[in-house]
Structure formats: structure tokens, C-alpha cells
Amino acid sequence: MTGDLREATWLAWFAARVQARDAMRHQLMLISAVVQPVVLTLFVVAPLPASERTHALARAVAVLLVTLWSTAVWLAGNVLQEERFQGTLPANLIGARSGLVVFFGKTAGASAVGTLITACSTVLTAFALGVRASPVQVLLLLPVLVLAAATICVAGFALACLFLLTRFGGQIGGALIYPMFVFGGVLVPRDRLPSGIDLIPLANGLHWLQRFVISAVSGTPMSGYLAVAVALLAVYAAVTAYAYRRIVAYAHRTGSFDLV
């Protein structure tokens, strides 16, 4: 058991390192992880009047969350598609070693690189605009970043499975990602969304993380918001595991990876 765990850990770590190097060279990295957060931070934080500068930190974190979503999810979502194009998908899915471990490592590696570069871009831009956080606020924001990275990693894996389960994966992925900026309840507060649409953020873990950030910046951190985000992360993981099992079952049953 210990040997199997050690091998799985090493395999996931190796896969993460390989995918992280590939993600660094990805053409989307510069635009999504650097240009996008810098421009959004300038538009969202810079116009705040002096009387509302106390909200600048929460606004900057909102930018970080939505840009993390669009950057890391796209990078992670392309993992299985690239495996398919390179011809390594069959071996990884039904090989002697667990495909789940390999793909989890690859997804985690892509998500980690996207998270790191996006966070650096956002933090440096916000700092240049005069946004500051106290040591207590920094400590409160750490679990937010960890949960955001985990949520994005799982969402990226789910999107990777979606890309294989349907020929319209790219279109569906875009429909899931870009409306996040408006309807996700992160950049635009939920109470400013139209009736009916304001229910969408309730299923978004990043919305609950942003609500925790707002409460923390206000001086009354509400840990219940973090609990909801963790519960939603568990739901995302269950759905992702189901999608992955469907891919593997289909491959074993038909001997084909042309799922559509």
C-alpha cells in the first residue's frame, strides 16, 4: 500500500512538472495570465474614488478569481484534448498506471502555473495602484487562494472530460467561462443581477469565496461562506469523477476514443 501510494505520488508529481513546463509555453499564457488581469485590475480598481478605497482589496481579489477561472480552466481543460491529438490518450487511460493519477497531475500542473502567474500579475498591478492588505487580511485570504486553486483544478478536469464527451466542448467551455465575468456573482454583485439570473452564483464556489473576502475586508469574516465553497468543491469533484469514469468505460467497451 505504501509503495503504491509512493508511486502514485511520484507519477502525479512528474506529470504535473511536465504539464507545467508545457503550460509556460502555451500561447494563451501571456494574454490570459498577464494582459487580462492587468487590464481588468486597471478598469475595476483604478476608477474607485478615495471614499471607496476600502473596497479596493475586495475588487482586486474579484479580478483575481475571475481571471484565474478563465486562465487556469482553459489550460487544464486542454490537457485531455492534447493527449488525444498526440496519440497518448489511450495508453494513459487504460495503461498499467492509473490514468486518473496522470491526468490529475497534469491538470494540477497546468492550474498551478496559471494560478501563480495570474496571481502575480494581479497582485503587482493592485499594489502599483495603491491597494494594501494588513497581515491579518493576508492570512484570511490564504484559504481563499487555496480553495480557488482547488476549485479551478477540478473545474479544469471536468472541462477536459467535456472536451472529449462532445464535439462542442470548446463552445460549451466558452459558454461556461466568459459569462462568469458578468453572471458569476464575483465581479458583479449578486444583488445587482436580474431576477432569476441571480440564482446562478449560488452554484458558483468562487462567488462564495468572494463573499468571504468582502466580509473579511469589512472586519467580520464569515467562515460559513468558506464551508459552502468547500461543499460545492466536493460536488464538482463528484461530477468530474463521473465524467471521467464514463470516458474510461466507453473506451473499454468500444475500444475507441472517438466519443462522438
Average pLDDT, the chain: 81
- For every residue of 29-74, DSSP letters joined together read HHIIIIIHHHHHHHHHHTT--GGGGGGHHHHHHHHHHHHHHHHHHH
CA 82 to each of CA 19, 207, 226: distance values in angstroms, whole numbers, following the listed order:
11, 30, 34
Domains of the chain, residue spans? 2-254
Other beta carbons less than 10 A from residue 258's beta carbon: 10
Helix axes 99-128, 79-86, angle to 10 degrees: 130
Whether residue 16 contacts residue 112, with contact meaning beta carbons closer than 8 Å, is answered with: yes
Cα separation of the two ends of the chain? 38
215-260 confidence digits (pLDDT tens): 988 888 898 999 999 999 999 989 888 877 777 777 667 655 554 4
**pLDDT score of 92 more than 70:** no
**pLDDT score of 59 more than 70:** yes
Cα separation, 239 vs 244, whole angstroms: 9
Q: Which residues contact 251 (CB under 8 A, 6 or more apart)?
A: 90, 93, 94, 257
* Among the listed residues 237, 238, 210, the one whose alpha carbon sits nearest the alpha carbon of residue 225: 210
pLDDT score for 79: 72
Most confident of 19-28, 91-100, 104-113, 227-236: 227-236
**pLDDT score of 1 more than 60:** no
* Among the listed residues 58, 240, 102, the one whose alpha carbon sits nearest the alpha carbon of residue 165: 240
53 compared with 122, residue with greater pLDDT: 122
- The pTM for the full model equals 0.84
pLDDT score for 133: 85
SS3 category, 118: helix
pLDDT score for 2: 66
* Among the listed residues 162, 64, 31, the one whose alpha carbon sits nearest the alpha carbon of residue 107: 162
pLDDT score for 212: 94
Task: Classify residue 178 by its DSSP letter.
Answer: T
